[in-house]
Structure formats: C-alpha cells, structure tokens
A and B are shown apart, each in its own frame.
Chain A
Amino acid sequence: MKWIERQRAFMDYTLSSLWRRKLRNLALLMVYTLVIFLLSSVIFFTDALRKEAAAVLEAGPEMIVQRTVGGRHSLIPVAYAERIERIRGASSVRPRLWGYYYHQASRTNYTILVPETFSGPDDTVQTGGGVLRTWGALWDGRMYFRTHDGNSLFLLPTSAMSDGADLVTADLILMSEPTFRKISGVPEGHATDLVVRVRNERERPTVAEKIVRELPDTRPILREEIARTYAAIFDWRAGYVVVLLGSAVLAFFIFAWDKATGLSAEEKTEIGILKGIGWDTSDVLMMKFWEGAVVSVSAFALGAITGYVHVYFASASLFEHALKGWSILYPKFTLRPQVSAYQLAVLFFLTVVPYTLLTVVPTWKVAVTDPDAVMRR
C-alpha cells in the first residue's frame, strides 16, 4: 500500500510538472504521435489487406491449372479436363472463362467472368459495386461493349452484386458463356484455365504432381500457394515502408534525445531544489520514468487511434498506392476494422522501446546533478 501511495505522489508531481511546461511538451508529444500514426497506419493497413486477401481466397478454388506456351499463360483446351478427371483424387474439373475488358470511355479495365451458373439471358450482365459508377453513359439503359472482332454489343445490366467488403467484386462483370466468347474471342473448346477440386487437403500436392506428369505443358497452382504469396507480399511491402519511414523515425529519436539532454535552466534549478529538499537520485529517476511513461502512453494512444481512423475510415489515403500496389482505378472500398494485440505490440516495440532506452542516459545525467552546483548558478 505504501508503495502505491508513493507512486501516486510521484505521478501527481509529474503530471503537474508536465502541465507547467505544456507548450514545450506539446511539441514532443505531437512529433511522437505523428511517428506512431505513420507506423500504425502501415501496420493496420497491410494486416487488413492480408486478411482481406485471405478471406477472398478462402472461397476460391483449391487448385487452378493453367496452360503455358513459351513460358506464358495461354488458353487451355477443354479436353484437358477429361484427362485430369481420370486422376484419382481429383473430384471434379471445371473449365473457367474469365478475362479483362478495357472500356475506352472510362479508360478502365474490368474483369469479365462466366460464373458456374449464370441465370439471366445472354444479353444481360451482372455488375459489381464499382462498375456502373465508373462506366459512364448508358445507351438506353444498356452497356456498350466492343467485341473482339470490332462489332458492338449492348448488354443490359441487371442486378448488381452485393457491395460487401470484397475487393474482388468491385470491378467484376458476370455474363453468359456465349456473350463472353463473343467479347473476348476465346474460341470454342478452349477456356482460360481449369478449376480442379481435390477433397483431401493432403492429396493436393500429389494430384498437382500427377497433372504435370500427365500434361507437361500445364502449371497447377494451389490455393495455399497463392495465399502464401499474398501474405509474403503484404509483409514485405509493410517492411519496406517501415524501412523507408526509418529515417523519419530516426530523426524523431534524435529530436527526443536532444530534448532530454538540453534541459532549460529552470528545469535544472527545479531538480536541484528537489534534491536540496531531500529527494534521492532514485526518486528523480522514478519521477522521470513516470514522465516518460505519461508522454509515451499518450502519444501511443493518440497515434494508434488516429492511425486506426486513417486506415478504416479514410481508406489509408496516404499509403494506399504504395501498399495496395494494384490498379489505381480500383473503386473505393472499406476494410473491416480490426486491431490485434500483435499489431500493437509490434508498434510498441518499434517506437516506445527505443524512445525509452535513448532517453535513459540524458535522464540519468539530470538525476545525478548536484543540488548546490545548480542552485549556486
């Protein structure tokens, strides 16, 4: 109990002393908050993207088989599907048709896809959340498409897909198979790639190996591989942005060091008087510890909260392009807000730990000053 009372007294003194020099401390607090804001934005944003990508992939196919010609992705004959189906372990094979469509009026690339079951008639399409917003003018309520051989095609947009949080559906246009072939020029008997379902997770690598042996010009890609690659990419990007921000963080640490070293005459006198009236060196150190803790905790809370707002309510407008890294034409999307203890721990270790260590030596120098040396001045 006595210990707690003692700490409370220190805390009380520290807060009032901080408040007495509010302008000076405010400058430090602001820069500290800014540094934590920048780093927390990067960490929150990449983690949210990572989770989003993982969620998207979860619904995706377990294995995709592409055909490569000359090292490049090429159309795959539908007949390949039958040969893969014969491999034990592969439960179903489905040819998939998808591609990109460049719309000149909006200067945007859209993803066009034939879903497993398309309910509407051939002259209709289903659009994702961002499509109609960016498409531009409609012709009598219909969207104008240019087919691969230069003819025009008018298609009626029916239902829009639910907006949701999905990154993928934003630029997606769903259509029937004949319409797709007309627009894209993918000939009958060919597909973009094949989707293979393998029920047993552990058999997937074996099935992939068998496919390559059976069809040497194909390339099977497992869902786990894609997920791993995305995770690695987002981690890597966040790492590099943190490295780039390193110089700013370093500048802050130098600033903090300087601030802790260069005490004003008034502060020195204060320490001198404290020691004169009986404070011990360890008491001054304890007071300084509380001072650092108050500043760090306030800056950490402020920085993390503003970072949170920046990422989840303002779509991380500062880092969006560096971290997302794909088409900047992507319509806006909001991420699902989530903060984990892990992110906060990383942030703490990146900022508060170095700050605390770097201010130890200057703080100690202040704490051991002789009272008479200060007061005589």
Chain B
Amino acid sequence: MIINPAIIALVGGSLLITAFALYALATALRILRHWDIRSGSEGQLALERKTYLISTIFAYLLGFELFSLFLFVFTAEHMHGLFVGAMCAAGSLGVNDYGYPTLILKTVTFMFCGVWVIVNHTDNRCSDYPLIRPKYRLLILLTVLMGLGTFLQTGYFAGLRADVITSCCGTLFSGDTESIAAGIAGLPAGATRIAFYLTVILTLRVGIHVLVTGRGAGAFGLLAGMTTVVSLIALISFIAPYYYELPTHHCPFCLLQEDYNYIGYPLYLSLFTAGVTGAGTGVLGLLKGPPSLEAVIPSLQRRLCLFSMAGFAIFTLMATWPMVFGDFVLGS
C-alpha cells in the first residue's frame, strides 16, 4: 500500500460516493415499493419529495465520477517514478491486475451515470413520473458498478509496492507484445483512419436525419456508442502518434500532460460528451410511455443529438488538426 494525499482523496472520495449511491438506492427501492401516482396521501407526497433528493445526489455523483476518473489517471501518472520501468500512467496502471479494470470500470460507470441523469431529466419534465420504475431499477446496476469500482480501485492502491518491475508505455503500447492495448497500437494506421472517419461521417449523417425527421434515434444511439469505441481505438492507433510526432508512441495518457498542452482533456471531454449524449438519444428513442412522455421526448432528443454531433465534430477536428497542419506524417 502506498499512501499519499491523492490516494487518500480517491479512496475516501469513492467510499463516500458509494455510500451516497447506496443511500439513494435504498430510498429508491422504498419509493418503488410504495409508489402510487394516483394516490394523494401524505406518504405518496413524501415519496415524491424524495425523488428530488435522489436526482440531486446523482447529479453530483455524475460530476464527481468524471472528476475522479481524471484524478485517477493523474495519480497513476504522478506515481510512475515509484516503479521501475514505468514511464507514465500506462506503466503505473500495469503494476497489478487491478489498474486497467479500475480505469475501464470508472469510464463505464461515468457513461451509465450520464445516461441515467438524462433519463431522470426526461422523467422530471413530465408531471406523472412515467419512467420512475425503469429509472430506479437502473440505479441498482449503477450502484453495483460504483461499488465494484471502489473495490477495484482500493485493490489497486492496496496492491501497490514501490519498485515492482513493470513495463513502461514504450513496451506496453509498442507493437510486439501480446496485450490488447498493443494489439490496438499495432492496427494498421491507414485502415483505422478509414474506419474512424467512416463511422464519424455515418453518425453525423444519421444525426442530421434525426434532427430533420425526428426518427432513427435508436440507430443514432447505437452508432454513437460504436463511434466512441472506434474513436478510442483510433486515439491509440494514430491520433496520439500525430500529437507526439512519434510513430512508436501510442500512449493515451501522455496526451493529458503539460508537454502536449493538456490536449487530452478537450479530446476526452468532447468524446465523452458525445458518447453520453449520443447514447442518451438512443435510450430516449427506446422509451415507450404515456402521452406526457411522448410530448417531451422529441425536443429533448433533438437537443441531445445536436450535442452529440457537436462533440464528435469537435473531437474529429482536433484529431485531424495535427495531420493537416503538422509537419509529421505517419505512413500507413
């Protein structure tokens, strides 16, 4: 176990976040059991008030989850000097088996949290709470994810021993090892580039269709999810090397550093925004409900779709920038 202020902050913060998620979940389950929208009793009124508490808690948790995701990577980066062979966050995260699963789970939790907040927002726009059951059932999954994330993160920090030999980002993300990450780095840059631009263009095209006709939201959500994954792969495969101006450097974390003008933050933030709002558009498209719900969904959906398209467009522009205006050329 290594103890430093950042680790205390992350572990303590995650425990607190999980505790609040559990508290909110317990309240939600109580609401589910006694919920009766037609009743005007004192009890039902109290339950309706409690929904505000849950919404507020999860709105904060969404923000803190995103923050803790970046802080986690930042801390791994900060600690790399403690491990032989680790040259950045990529090496620190590989020190034990918990590092990468924690990172992936944190990202997934943030995405789910974002979708939940979108569904919750939609539900709150209607006077008769049409989505109360599905959305509170989704909370169970979300809380489990948060709890699991806390467990993995604690396991990661508890298992750290300074001086354990790890592979640095040079070997982890270089073409000849057998890991998944290296597999991504080793993908042919040309083909990945074509796949990336194709999915982005397709998503934007379907997005325009959704904006104009109001149909095809489900397909857009699916495409947005796929584009997010393809973008992450593209980031490791060829976008990062363009920013580093080094064909062998594929690390997705060094982009977050000062040396590269913190370009990683706008890149990841635009991509995450696009992913969450895109998935939200799709999820809203799947929802069926009373007329009150049908009335609010189309306008919300359009706005989310617009956000998602803007996010993907900004990400793609930033990814293309160094290819067009930089001196560095990556052969395929």
Contact = CB atoms under 8 A, between A and B. Distances in A.
B183 interface: no
Interface stretch (A98-106, A138-146, A173-181, A345-353): A345-353
A236 interface: yes
Contact of B81 (A231, A238, A341, A349): A231
A43 B74 CA distance: 15
Contact of B5 (A227, A346, A357): A346
Given A231-B82, A354-B12, A356-B60, A242 B49 contact: no
B64 interface: yes
Contacts of B78: 342
Given A236-B2, A357-B16, A349 B68 contact: yes
A205 to B, nearest CB: 9
B4 A239 contact: yes
A239 B70 CA distance: 20
B56 A345 contact: no
B12 A281 contact: no
Interface string A101-122: 0000000000000000000000
Contacts of A39: 5
A320 interface: no
Contacts, number: 96
A243 interface: yes
A42 B8 CA distance: 13
B260 interface: no
Interface residues of A, number: 35
B3 A345 contact: no
B312 to A, nearest CB: 23
B17 interface: yes
Chain B contact patch, size range: 35 or more
B5 A345 contact: no
Contacts of A243: 3, 8
A155 to B, nearest CB: 40
Interface string B1-36: 011111111101100110010000000000000000
Interface of B: 2-10, 12-13, 16-17, 20, 49, 52-53, 56-57, 60, 64, 67-68, 70-71, 74-75, 78-79, 81-82, 84, 124, 162-163, 262
Given A231-B81, A239-B7, A342-B6, 12 more contacts: A228-B82, A235-B79, A236-B2, A239-B3, A239-B5, A239-B8, A240-B3, A281-B52, A345-B70, A348-B67, A350-B12, A353-B16
Interface of A: 39, 42-43, 224, 227-228, 231-232, 235-236, 238-240, 242-243, 281-282, 285, 341-342, 345-346, 348-350, 353-354, 356-357, 360-361, 363-364, 367-368
